Structure 1
């Protein structure tokens, strides 16, 4: 099994990728790919095999309420949702996806808003990549049911008890991770690369069914908005053998 973790940014300059090969008693971490372009990302994602998984740190969609509000505002006779006096409830629905609200209960900080924060530029890049993947015959299921899923490294680290966010801390918790000296140094000094490594480990957790999947009530919004796969607590040590 191969896992690919992508720490996506709006531009290649801050986009990093981590690839891990899982075999027997070893999980070999390759040197990170830095400044990753769209073409390189497409090459990696279209090469995924049947058992391979990829985790991408980026919202896969926008809140349904936000999309509907934009469509209403763009209509010939503009309208805007919400009728309460202060508008707080309406703004919350426009700001956050269902998965954001659920993950916030288990994360060290509230996820950024894809509709109200700068994260939207990253999501726009991913939306373009999703469309290109579909045209190449590799459509993305935004619930994570396919080979590519949405992940959130900060929340994954929190679930795995990795508050420091260092390579030494990670390898102490997962001593079966094999990193060469050069690769280890880059992961230790480049935050984007480290987040990509956590994303790749989360992709493994998805592949072995050790993450939270949408319930029946969550499935509808997840197919449109995306779904953050949150690892089960303390699942990191067992990922090699699951």
Structure 2
């Protein structure tokens, strides 16, 4: 099995990918890259059994009628989301609320934060994949699943605070986090990329995304139940690990 992890940014400069090759007795990082464009992501998707992408694959369902009402001067759909609770429905997806309830983490809003920029790029990538390989269900039941590295790390018991950035403290935190990952997953062969991973949170998150893609592929993530299934198909679904990190290599 090959899993692809994508840490998607709005621009290619901070977009990272990691490909893990899973053998019977080994797991090896066979490809790691930064400054990755759409073409390379789609090409790597072609050779991966499962891809985990760290970016929303959809928008809140409430946002469409709200924007359509605004565009058409139709007050009804707009006023339906008046007030702070209404705006929360416009800002956050069902899966975002689920993640917060399960982990305490609050994902960035795809419609009201800077995350909207990479999400627009992600929509284009999904369209490119669909043209070549067929549309991938947004709930992750195909070969593309939305992942959230910070949540994966927390569920797996890995210290994950304050490792993003280029400051001294962030660099030290990332090095410690990488060390913790290696201790919990001694079966993971990083292919000599340890220095690169300890120096780039983007590359590190791509590896975590690839690990989470493996969890999706072997059924070790939480899938949407009946209460969340419809929303997951249109808005997307963040796959949270449901097992231990050590189970991935089994």
The TM-score bracket by the shorter chain reads over 0.9
Q: Deviations over 1:60-102 (max 9, x none)?
A: 1000001221111111545543458x70110111110000000
Summarize the alignment of residues 67-146 of structure 1 with structure 2, pairs less than 5 Å apart: 67-75=64-72, 77=74, 79-82=76-79, 87-107=83-103, 109-146=105-142
2:8 equivalent in structure 1: 8
* Separation in 2, partners of 1:29, 1:180: 6
Q: What is the DSSP-based 3-state SS (H/G/I as helix, E as strand, rest coil) of the residue aligned with 1:64? A: coil
**CA shift in 2, pair 1:77/1:88, >3 Å:** closer
* 8 Å contact from structure 1 (residues 143, 214) kept in 2: yes
Alignment counterpart, residue 55 of structure 1, candidates 44, 52, 56: 52
Q: What is the DSSP-based 3-state SS (H/G/I as helix, E as strand, rest coil) of the residue aligned with 2:206? A: helix
Alignment counterpart, residue 148 of structure 2, candidates 141, 148, 152: 152
* Separation in 1, partners of 2:107, 2:74: 33
* Separation in 2, partners of 1:79, 1:73: 9
Q: What is the DSSP-based 3-state SS (H/G/I as helix, E as strand, rest coil) of the residue aligned with 1:186? A: helix
For structure 2, the residue ranges without an aligned partner over 5 or more in a row are 161-173
Q: Deviations over 1:120-165 (max 9, x none)?
A: 0110000011111111133111010001100000000000001145
Question: Number of aligned pairs?
Answer: 235
The Cα of 1:187 is off from its aligned counterpart by 1.1
* 8 Å contact from structure 2 (residues 220, 242) kept in 1: yes
Q: What is the DSSP-based 3-state SS (H/G/I as helix, E as strand, rest coil) of the residue aligned with 1:143? A: coil
* 8 Å contact from structure 1 (residues 73, 79) kept in 2: no
* 8 Å contact from structure 1 (residues 32, 187) kept in 2: no
* 8 Å contact from structure 1 (residues 27, 176) kept in 2: yes
Alignment counterpart, residue 171 of structure 1, candidates 182, 186, 189: 182
The Cα of 1:225 is off from its aligned counterpart by 0.2
Q: What is the DSSP-based 3-state SS (H/G/I as helix, E as strand, rest coil) of the residue aligned with 1:194? A: helix
2:40 equivalent in structure 1: 40
Q: What is the DSSP-based 3-state SS (H/G/I as helix, E as strand, rest coil) of the residue aligned with 1:136? A: helix
TM-score (norm 2): 0.90
Summarize the alignment of residues 197-216 of structure 1 with structure 2, pairs less than 5 Å apart: 197-216=207-226
* 8 Å contact from structure 2 (residues 99, 105) kept in 1: no
* 8 Å contact from structure 1 (residues 56, 151) kept in 2: yes
TM-score (norm 1): 0.92
The Cα of 1:232 is off from its aligned counterpart by 1.4
* 8 Å contact from structure 1 (residues 61, 224) kept in 2: yes
